[in-house]
Amino acid sequence: MSDRKVRRVVSGVSALAVAAGFTVVAGSGVAGAAPESTTWETTNKTKITRTISNTTPVEGDTVTVTNKLYQQFGGVVTYIYWVRDIHPPCLKFQSAKVDGKSYGASTGADYAQVDGSIIQWPIRPIANPRSRTFEFTYKVGADCERDIAMNTGMGYNASIGGNTWSTKGPKINVPYNSTSTTLTAPANMQVGDSAVLEATVTGGAQGDNVDFYDGGVKIGTAQLNDKGVAKFHWTPGAFGRYSMNARFPATPRALASFSTVVDVTVSPADTVSSTVLAPVVGAQVGQASVLRATVAPAGSGGTVEFTDGGEALANVPVGADGVATYTWVPSTAGDHTIAATFSGSAGVTGSSDSATVNVAAAPVDNIDSRTVLTIGPIPTVGVAQTITADVTPGDAGGTVTFKDGDAVIGISSVDSSGRATLEWTPAHEGQRNITAQYSGAGNVNGSADEITVVVGTVPGGGDNGGGTGSAGSLSGGTGSLFGS
């Protein structure tokens, strides 16, 4: 009996590419496959050639093993009864063929076998068929040991006897999985925030560890899930710039890899603000009371919204001194829940304060006022408009607060003729609700009027994207007693 082995190595991966840092991706197919054959003769002049399509497959690859039995001159007609292919248990059987045609097989942990009848598969020394080919296909499992030569072999039985060669070869050597690691992290965070660092590893297995680093300091470990993703919840303790990366350590089946660095900028935590609503005393229906909120730290900007029982009264910018005020003219007696809510600003949290204010009824001998609001006929974005409020009786004095919605536009004193005026330049097109709130004075009760206007764009395009809306319109109010 004689043996000989033939091995052919098809193109490999360039060592230069690996050294340069390129990711080596392991995949299915025959590119880079290393087929190998071994041949021997039996004492009955049967030549057996056993070929493995790839002796260095990676996890997930498909491997085909071909056993060819050829009857040489000098032998006798032989009837093959069965052929058994012996393989490492980590190769998972897929299919079998006999002479190129699909054929059913029985399997065990380390073998696959095809069985024929006593006359089904003859091989002859002279006339055809002189050979038979038995082909077995497997898939390389994740449980294969790595970088270890694993035995393969075959056996058969025939009319002139048979034999089994469990370690005849060729051997199969499954290399370590090549891996690649990528990291996803937010570019910007704030102290106190929590973020999920997400590492995706190709070539790893569920349950494998991934280590997360800030520069060279390990900050935590997480395991890969069934999708090859590891998630680590991270809360930075200080502001600054962090250089995050994820590292997949080598395992018994996979090579190590690491991600590129992802820079994360962490800004300081917001300064906590406080808002204090000053006590309101002497509030009376129809008379002005000043709502005053003080925000700390001063100079934070932002706005304060004043509300009465949850209903918006006004939205007022916070001055550089941290103070926001609004002239409130209550329209009903009794307890009112007044709240001042600071909006917050860049780097500063919002805050609020509230108080119960008791409003007294107006004296029975007070005089009711009437306020009539007038706006120019063509409200247009970017064009100054004169807003006029005429108060009757006209000699009471006091002030008028003008609002766009609940945002205060400005405050104007009532002159001796009962008129208060304000210049308003609309910033946005569309429908706006403009209010004039007279404060009342002395024994004259406050009152209010409201007009709905439609602000048009500047002819020819103008502001806010150059729309083609109306030039502006308004629908008037007729004045109301004791505020709105």
Residue 315 scores a pLDDT above 60: yes
pLDDT in the model for residue 377: 77
| Sequence-ordered list of residues with C-beta below 8 angstroms from that of 5, at least 6 positions apart, any chain | 36, 37, 38, 39, 169, 170
pLDDT in the model for residue 463: 46
Q: What does the pLDDT look like over 1-42, one tens digit per residue?
A: 444 443 333 333 333 223 223 333 333 333 467 899 999 999
Break the chain into its structural domains and give their ranges. Answer: 3-171, 180-267, 274-359, 370-481
Q: Considering only 106-120, 234-248, 384-398, which range has the smallest mean pLDDT?
A: 384-398
Residue 238 scores a pLDDT above 90: yes
Percent of the chain with pLDDT over 70: 88
pLDDT in the model for residue 419: 95
Residue 172 scores a pLDDT above 50: yes
Residue 354 scores a pLDDT above 60: yes
Give the residue with greater pLDDT, 82 vs 376.
82
Q: What does the pLDDT look like over 447-470, one tens digit per residue?
A: 999 999 899 887 665 444 433 333
Q: What is the 3-state secondary structure (H, E, C) of 75-128?
A: CCCEEEEEEEEECCCCEEEEEEEECCEECCCEEECCEEEEECCCCCEEECCCCC
Q: What does the pLDDT look like over 209-223, one tens digit per residue?
A: 999 999 999 999 999
pLDDT in the model for residue 461: 52
Instruction: Enter the tokens of residue 233.
Output: 């919840």
Q: What is the DSSP letter of 367?
A: B
Residue 479 scores a pLDDT above 70: no
pLDDT in the model for residue 169: 93
Cβ atoms of 293 and 340 within 8 Å: the answer is: yes
pLDDT in the model for residue 179: 96
Rounded distance, CA 49 to CA 39, Å?
4
Third-level CATH fold of 180-267: Immunoglobulin-like (2.60.40)
Q: What is the DSSP letter of 17?
A: H
Residue in this structure with the two tokens 């439609």, named with its chain if needed: 454
Which class in CATH covers the domain with range 370-481? mainly beta
pLDDT, the chain, mean: 88
Coil/strand/helix, residue 244: strand
Q: What does the pLDDT look like over 378-427, one tens digit per residue?
A: 788 988 889 999 999 988 899 999 999 888 989 999 999 999 999 999 98
User: What is the pLDDT averaged over residues 278-304?
Assistant: 93
Which class in CATH covers the domain with range 274-359? mainly beta
Strands 262-267 and 188-190, bridge-based pairing: parallel
Give the residue with greater pLDDT, 459 vs 363.
363
Rounded distance, CA 262 to CA 242, Å?
8
Cβ atoms of 457 and 344 within 8 Å: the answer is: no
Same topology for domains 3-171 and 180-267, yes or no?
A: yes
pLDDT in the model for residue 300: 86
Q: Select the CATH number that applies to the domain covering 3-171 from these four: 3.30.70.270, 3.30.160.60, 2.40.50.140, 2.60.40.1510.
A: 2.60.40.1510
